[in-house]
Chains A and B, each alone.
Chain A
Amino acid sequence: MGGVRVMVVDDHPMWRDAVARDLAEAGYDVVAACGEGRQAVRVAAAVRPEVAVVDLRLPDISGVEVTRALAALDPPARVLVLSASGEQEDVLEAVKAGATGYLVKSAARAEFLDAVARTVQGDAVFTPGLAGLVLGEYRRLAAVPAPAPDAPRLTDRETEILRLVAKGLTYRQIAERLVLSHRTVQNHVQNTLGKLHLHNRVQLVRYAIEKGLDTP
């Protein structure tokens, strides 16, 4: 006991077991392992995981939906997306829905456990691929014919750091190059995800109000 409560959502039984075993061996408390999205959302409400490792491709609802539901729990579960193929749009959607990290399944065991540990800490787990997607998304938001006044923007520093992440530099290397502390780099990266997530939620609420979904 005493381990961090982790949940695994993956429709591939071999993978689910391998990931759960790795986590258990590393001292985590694997409270649930689900193969379907709806089931995962139901179970999560009961077992209250602190961290969820979620595959994007599930048989019923998508991993993006699961991520949204898990991030909406109180307290929210931190979501680390683990996906097999580079489903680009899906990864971006999951991040906007509140996932704080993304890793491809081919990552080594040590890399995976490190990513889970960072997710537990509340740090964002970026691959260069995800940094490229997030950069692209901010540029897209800014370039839309008439960018909304409340569209999130990156500061110059954030852009600089995201570009370095996308070029494969570690946080430590970035800190050295820009003469910043490791923590500061971490926070900047985190902010880029936080702003996207917030923007997404604001848009969902606005949509709900427009459609009259906010009143019973």
Chain B
Amino acid sequence: MSTPAARPWARRTGPGVEAVLWRATAVFRAVSCAYAGALIANGYGEYRYPLGGLAVFAVMAAWTVVAARVRGGRLFGVADVAVAVACLLATGLVETREHLADGRPNLTVSWVAAPVMAWALRGGARRGVAAALAVAVPDVALRALYAEVFSQTTFNGVVLLLMVGVIVGYLGRLAIDAELRMARAVALETATRERERLARDLHDSVLQVLALVRRRGGELGGEAAELGRLAGEQEAALRALISAEVLAVVPGPRLPGSGDDDGGTADLRALLRPYASASVQLATPATPVVLARAVARELAAAVGAALDNVAAHCPPGTRVWVLLEDDGAAVTVSVRDDGPGIAPGRLVEAERAGRLGLAQSVRGRVRDLGGTVEIVSAPGQGTELELTVPR
């Protein structure tokens, strides 16, 4: 039945599926009761005990009112079936044997399907079928033992009751479960969003403090300057982490069940973000630069190799700027450092001498992507690499 988790949600957003189904059952019960009443009024003069027919209708009407107000638990469900069966069996006292043998319906007509629906809603298809049998067996017994006939109509009635039990039970559960799952998903999403917001706020204030420590520490000098430097490193690391977290989710098709480089896409900004540090500044567009995942990875790796090259060949304290541009037809990443620069011819010389660092790790990667690398450098002016990959 409705678990505590489902209830508050159902209450908050108006009647849930379950409430609607229960209301439908109550309406069905009332309409069936009215129909049975009409039939009883119609056959009033032909009954063996006409007043008995009236009494049965009174009981049915009273119970219909009670059942509309009390949804109840298992005990009420048992009483529900008991009342239905009692009213059904009362047909044997009120009706004449001949009428029943003729195939006249029971006094209760379709009213007995209501407790079956209630059980199906309460406990699914299995309970629904059990309730249907509990009602059908007395019905069949009445026909077979009292009227001594077993007609097609009786059989149809039994089949219809069983179908009500199965279908209402199955579909009702399905709808209620779907609603519950939906509610859980909504709750989860809300919680996740809230957690993200908290993390953002927390990160922001931590960043502020780190930036402040760095700034003040640098001014005070001595040991404080060392603290300031450490704070600065942590600030850069944290900022890179946050940006990576925010940007890592790239909308785009992911083929299920395939491997890693599966034709999915990636935002190149998110892949470059981890390179940012106190000495490496990153400039990117505000909107995602979406590439095939494999291409984005290779290009990011080439940028990483270029940065490694700066670290290996330039004095400490050299600053690097990485610029990412996307003009629709091609993606360009520029890596510029303010190091001592490379003398003309030295790159070619190095390449010829078999020292393949820059050539292999940057040029090779970009060439494999169908792109080009341009190197501009002069002594004293730093080095600039421009990696361009067509889309």
CB-defined contacts of B243 to chain A, threshold 8 Å: 85-86
Which of A18, A85, A128, A169 has the largest count of B CB atoms less than 10 A from its CB? A85
1/0 contact trace for B189-230 toward A, CB 8 Å?
000000000000001110111111011101100000000000
Question: Cβ of A136 and Cβ of B219 under 8 Å apart?
Answer: no
B276 nearest in chain A by CB position: A86
Nearest CB in chain B: distance from A88 CB, A: 5
Q: Interface size bucket, A side?
A: 35 or more
Chain A nearest CB from B173 CB (Å) reads 46
Q: Which residue of A lies closest to B284 (CB)?
A: A132
By beta carbon, the residue of chain A nearest B320 is A168
* CB <8 Å contact, B286 and A92: yes
Query: Considering the chains assembled together, what is the distance between the CA atoms of A143 and B212 in angstroms?
Result: 40
* CB of B338 within 8 Å of the partner chain: yes
Q: Give Cα distance in the complex from A172 to B243, angstroms.
A: 31
Tally of chain B residues near chain A (CB < 8 A): 40
Residues of B close to A57: CB separation below 8 A: 204
- Chain A at the B interface: SS class: helix
Q: Say yes or no: is B373 at the interface (Cβ < 8 Å to chain A).
A: no
In the complex, 30 of the A-B residue pairs with CB atoms within 8 angstroms, ordered by the A residue number, are: A12-B208, A15-B208, A18-B215, A18-B216, A86-B243, A88-B284, A89-B286, A104-B211, A105-B215, A106-B211, A106-B232, A106-B235, A108-B218, A109-B218, A128-B281, A129-B282, A130-B283, A132-B285, A133-B286, A135-B325, A136-B285, A136-B325, A137-B286, A143-B327, A143-B328, A166-B283, A166-B334, A168-B320, A168-B336, A168-B338
5 closest A-B pairs (Cβ-Cβ)? A136-B285, A132-B283, A168-B321, A105-B211, A166-B283
| Chain B residues within CB distance 8 Å of chain A | 203-205, 207-212, 214-216, 218-219, 232, 235-236, 239, 242-243, 281-287, 319-321, 323-328, 334, 336, 338, 384
Give 10 A-B pairs besides A84-B204, A106-B235 with Cβ atoms closer than 8 angstroms: A18-B216, A128-B323, A132-B284, A132-B285, A133-B285, A136-B284, A137-B285, A139-B325, A163-B325, A167-B323
